[in-house]
Amino acid sequence: MTTIDPSKPILVTGSSGYIASWIVKLLLDKGHTVHAMVRDVNALDAMGHLNKIAEGSSGKLVLFEADLLKEGSFDAAMEGCELVMHTASPYSVDPKMDPDAFIQPALDGTRNVLNSVNKTSTVKRVVLTSSVAAILGDTRDVQGYAGGIATEENWNTTSSLTHLPYSYSKTLAEKLAWEMVKAQDRWDLITINPSFVFGPSLSKRKGMPTMDFLSLLADKRSAMGAVPFNFGIVDVRDVAEAHVKAGFIPDANGRHILTNQALWYKEMAAIG
């Protein structure tokens, strides 16, 4: 059982991101103080929406600059926090992206955040944004699951540096987090494993990979001649709420798959 004091600040990494922005909004609307980690506090195109969210809330937003790959970068922002929500991780829908751009930042970022957690005596709980990709790689994984059903007990065993590297990065990063939490007994860990996250963005910034993909769907033309491709989806607002609940429910624990329904690519394009 872990009880989080709601009056203490809450650290959210990658705060200007698609999912994290909704987490920040929920926390601020509930009156919490949020220590929001961003790469550049002066980049209004990237985090100006966070200030607007804060202005209309009863909570308090405090911005901190951090480099995901720099050891100790999170120490100052984590001071006094009992709850840390780590959402920051590289993501892209570009199949040509260098696999190393996924793997090392995901691993080093998770390690750096959790090293700061280990140094910060006030932290009691970490909520990590993982992915269903850490549970399920491709159909070869499913063939080995009981009844052909993926659960939180399963791990992706088919992805690699050369095959689905994003899925591989999420698997490695989450496994590292579980190894690090087992090495101590002060803080606990909960992981959120959503399927494809769908829904509105609080930021109007261009170049966000998820929004680029959703824009492609909205174009409709992308569905012409599309191969039969079916995948689970979940609303971004539900994902954000799951993070907040995971943070504050005392007996919350373990991994949590989030998905609402499965749609074919053409069905998603029709909605978009």
Q: Which residues are catalytic?
A: 170
Q: Tell me the two tokens of residue 233.
A: 């989806």
- Count CA within 13 A, CB hemisphere, residue 224: 3
Distances in whole angstroms, Cα of residue 218 to Cα of each of 187, 265, 267: 42, 11, 11
DSSP codes joined into one string, 34-102: EEEEES-TT-HHHHHHHHHHHHTSSSEEEEEE--TTSTTTTHHHHTT-SEEEE--------TTS-THHH
| Residues 6+ away with beta carbon under 8 Å from 122 | 8, 79, 80, 81, 82
Q: Rounded to an integer, what distance in angstroms lies between the CA atom of residue 68 and that of residue 63?
A: 15
CB 20 within 8 A of CB 13: yes
Q: Residue 158's CB: how many other CB atoms inside 10 A?
A: 18
CA-angle at 229, arms to 227 and 234, nearest 5°: 150
* Sign of the Cα pseudo-torsion (219, 226, 92, 142, in order): positive
| Under 8 Å between Cβ of 130 and 174 | yes
To which H or E segment does residue 221 belong?
Answer: none
